[in-house]
Structure 1
Amino acid sequence: MKGTNLGEFQEIVMLSILILDENAYGVTIQEEIDRRMGRSISRGALHTALTRLEEKGFISSDYGEPTSERGGRRKRYYEVTNKGLATLQEAKELREGMWDLIPKLT
């Protein structure tokens, strides 16, 4: 289906959201990707991926309460939807199945 395929970076973003659980918002996702993958990403690239994932129905977002540390602004928290979990599982199974088909090197 057009528009439902998952790119590598989008997969990494979704996995980071799952790792962070209830603490998944822009800055923590960006830091998690940098820490785990050694990849420094721009805020713009991350927000583009988050927007596309939300449009595909793979993630959802909601705003937290305003905080004084942020000048009254609210954080936008992300979570992976059931559709997103199913898509991640399919991608994992496809990748593992293809690895299993590679002839052993001697």
Structure 2
Amino acid sequence: MANKQTFLGEFEHIVMLTVLSLGDDAYGVTVRQQLRDIIGREVAIGALYATTERLEKKGLLTSTKSGASAQRGGKAKRYFKVTSQGIAELERTKQNLEKLWGLQAVSQTI
């Protein structure tokens, strides 16, 4: 059996791209806002955090917590960053999608 490679799901892919685009301002609320504003997708915070945890386990994202603030009811923000492995995975996914979109049968159908 060949090595089983993990592939990014659609939601994982867009979450990682959103985190990359937000840079140092990538935390739950800003990621949700960006997804809503840019692609019109409403995302439950629980779904977002489940996805970021899965991406962390895969080594594609890291997260750090800021200090708790009174404005946030004593809760800390959880900031996300795409790892170098995550960037490589995004590139691989992009290349694979471009190959598939370049297939003549797909191009002629759309």
Q: TM-score of the superposition, structure 1-length normalised?
A: 0.90
In structure 1, the residue matched to 2:24 is 22
Query: What's the CA shift for 1:2?
Result: 4.6
5+ residue gaps, structure 1, are: none
Q: CA RMSD in A?
A: 1.8
Matched, 1:40 2:36: no
In structure 1, the residue matched to 2:10 is 8
| Greater than 6 Å deviation, 4+ residue runs | none
C-alpha separation in 2, matches of 1:42 and 1:3: 28
In structure 1, the residue matched to 2:97 is 95
Query: What's the CA shift for 1:3?
Result: 7.1
- Check conservation: 2:56, 2:62, Cα contact below 8 A: yes
Q: Counterpart of 1:18 in structure 2: which amino acid?
A: L
Relative distance call for 1:16 and 1:28 in structure 2 (3 A) is same
Query: What's the CA shift for 1:69?
Result: 1.1
- Greater shift after overlay, 64-73 or 17-26? 64-73
Q: TM-score of the superposition, structure 2-length normalised?
A: 0.87
C-alpha separation in 1, matches of 2:14 and 2:40: 12
Identity of aligned residues (%): 41
Secondary structure of residue in 2 paired with 1:86: helix
